[in-house]
């Protein structure tokens, strides 16, 4: 398979029609090696407009959604970034090219190990992969200039909002009221203190982020 040709067609035929036109994002995606984060069995689909299975109920976001997330963070300094839902590590790798430090949290230990291996192979050393409940964030590393949710949530968790730096942005997928499973890719901006703004960028459907099982009370 000619990966360079497939990468070009992905950008020109999928991403640009989806309003991904920021020159820095386009340049980044031309240089990105997405195929190295795709399981071997699905490598021929690395640049297709599909979700790629990773096992454990997880999937890679389609390229056009990764591109829209990157574009939503354009034009802002990214020192510390948090991602929830590591998967294969590809979104963290993209964020790492723009940020000084990236923390990414994966609830499935096997996927966290996969991401660490992929990132090490790509010689990316500014990503820290944590295992656990990403919806609680990482208070010890906060505040974050950007927080990315690489999957759907019923609503944006308050702990993540609290860990967003002033001037920071949170990008995530939230179901549209009364229209599930349809979701909005939304950007929440922390203007100052408890003042926030929210903007829906597009409508789509992605898998929900896995959450830890509810704790059982023993009487």
Give the chain's mean pLDDT.
Answer: 95
CATH number, residue 13:
3.40.50.150
Report the domain count for the chain.
1
Domain membership flag for residue 218: no
Q: Could you tell me the residue range of the domain that residue 25 belongs to?
A: 3-204
List of residues 6+ apart from 194 with CB closer than 8 A? none
pLDDT-above-70 percentage for the chain: 97
List of residues 6+ apart from 87 with CB closer than 8 A? 54, 58, 59, 60, 106, 111, 115, 150
pLDDT-above-90 percentage for the chain: 94
Confidence of residue 160 (pLDDT cuts 50, 70, 90): very high
Domain membership flag for residue 210: no
For residue range 15-26, list pLDDT tens digits in order.
999 999 999 999
Residue 166 has pLDDT above 60, yes or no: yes
Domain membership flag for residue 7: yes
Residue 218 has pLDDT above 60, yes or no: no
Q: Which of 85, 214, 84, 89 is nearest to 146 (CA)?
A: 84
Domain membership flag for residue 216: no
Separation CA 24–CA 91 (nearest Å): 16
pLDDT for position 1 = 83
What mean pLDDT is predicted for residues 100-111? 98
Domain membership flag for residue 41: yes
Separation CA 8–CA 30 (nearest Å): 7
Domain membership flag for residue 189: yes
Tell me how far apart the 2 most distant CA atoms of the chain are, in Å.
62
pTM (two decimals)? 0.95
pLDDT for position 212 = 78
Residue 206 has pLDDT above 50, yes or no: yes
Q: Which of 88, 86, 96 is nearest to 31 (CA)?
A: 96
From the number of C-beta atoms within 10 Å of its C-beta (0-12, 13-18, 19+), residue 159 rates as middle
pLDDT for position 215 = 52
Confidence of residue 29 (pLDDT cuts 50, 70, 90): very high
pLDDT for position 211 = 84
pLDDT for position 113 = 98
């Amino acid at each position: 398979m000619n990966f360079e040709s497939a990468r070009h067609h992905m950008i020109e035929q999928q991403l640009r029609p989806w309003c991904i036109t920021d020159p820095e994002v386009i340049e980044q995606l031309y240089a990105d090696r997405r195929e190295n984060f795709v399981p071997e069995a699905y490598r021929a689909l690395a640049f297709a407009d599909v979700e790629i299975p990773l096992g454990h109920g997880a999937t890679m976001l389609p390229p056009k959604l990764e591109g829209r997330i990157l574009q939503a963070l354009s034009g802002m300094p990214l020192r510390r970034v948090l991602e929830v839902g590591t998967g294969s590590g590809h979104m963290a790798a993209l964020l790492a090219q723009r940020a000084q430090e990236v923390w990414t949290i994966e609830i499935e230990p096997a996927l966290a190990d996969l991401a660490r291996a992929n990132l090490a192979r790509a010689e990316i050393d500014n990503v820290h992969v944590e295992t656990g409940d990403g919806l609680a964030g990482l208070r010890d590393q906060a505040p974050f200039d950007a927080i990315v949710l690489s999957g759907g949530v019923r609503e944006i968790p308050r702990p993540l909002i609290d860990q967003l730096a002033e001037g920071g942005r949170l990008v995530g997928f939230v179901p549209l009221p009364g229209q599930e499973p349809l979701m909005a890719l939304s950007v929440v901006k922390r203007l100052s203190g408890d003042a926030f703004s929210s903007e829906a960028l597009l409508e789509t459907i992605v898998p929900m982020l896995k959450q830890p099982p509810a704790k059982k009370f023993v009487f």
